[in-house]
Structure 1
């Protein structure tokens, strides 16, 4: 792996991947510390991705502490970082709240009235 400790958020990516570019741009824009492993240049990184993505080289794949996320969005990454490496989460980050339909669905699933 090309990342040096103590990096705790590792983004496995490859050139030309638009999902990777988008996630990396969002991480950079929020100032989230991370390192990047190009799976085309790092066979160990590619093997790590295959080990968690059913043998596929699905990117972006993000390692956060003990968790590996396959093709996550920025909020999934930040939620996992909040739990496993809270010092890496930008100050003031608030996860998105469900909209009206989401609140209704949660109320039906949980059996509590929606607000």
Structure 2
């Protein structure tokens, strides 16, 4: 569980240390710029930007019952972040599985991606789609999209 917070903490601490070193070295403007960049990297890697993760088995069970997509993701994945941001509020309608927290989720992703943990992998109606277009996923999240397939 703490594994997902390591990367953001390292970015924040590393950026702070670099900013202090640059500030002490006589370049406070550069220090502020470095700090801002590192803090933005820390924010991008925060797991709280995503809906509460569901276990893979539970997500697959719920998806079979209501037809909503299952999105396998991991913190720090820029493609996952892109998908999440482009989905906006509709992202809450999908089941999100953090493959770093759920070994069954990681195994499911490896099974459909030739042994690789390539994310985001979206499963709709039993079919997996690796790094699909956000517009397509948004369509799958709408009740009309699920009926059309």
Q: Give the TM-score of the pair, scaled to structure 1.
A: 0.62
CA offsets, 1:70-109, max 9 Å, x none? 1111133346x2xxx75164xxxxxxxxxxxxxxxxxxxx
Give the structure with the higher percent strand.
1
Query: Structure 1 residues 26, 20: closer, same or farther in 2, change over 3 A?
Result: same
Residues 23-102 of structure 1: matches in 2 within 5 Å? Answer: 23-29=83-89, 31-32=90-91, 33-78=93-138, 81=140, 87=143, 89=145
CA offsets, 1:43-66, max 9 Å, x none? 111111011111100000001112
Q: Distance in 2 between matches of 1:63 and 1:10?
A: 5
Aligned to 2:73: 13
Q: Distance in 2 between matches of 1:75 and 1:44?
A: 27
In the alignment of these two chains, the number of paired residues is 84
User: How far did residue 28 of structure 1 move?
Assistant: 2.6
Q: Give the TM-score of the pair, scaled to structure 2.
A: 0.49
Give the SS at the match of 1:68.
Answer: strand
Give the structure with the higher percent helix.
2
Query: Structure 1 residues 23, 54: closer, same or farther in 2, change over 3 A?
Result: same
Give the SS at the match of 2:88.
Answer: helix
Give the SS at the match of 2:110.
Answer: helix
User: How far did residue 24 of structure 1 move?
Assistant: 1.2
Structure with the greater alpha carbon radius of gyration: 2
User: How far did residue 26 of structure 1 move?
Assistant: 1.5
User: Do the aligned partners of 1:7 and 1:35 also contact (CA within 8 Å) in 2?
Assistant: no
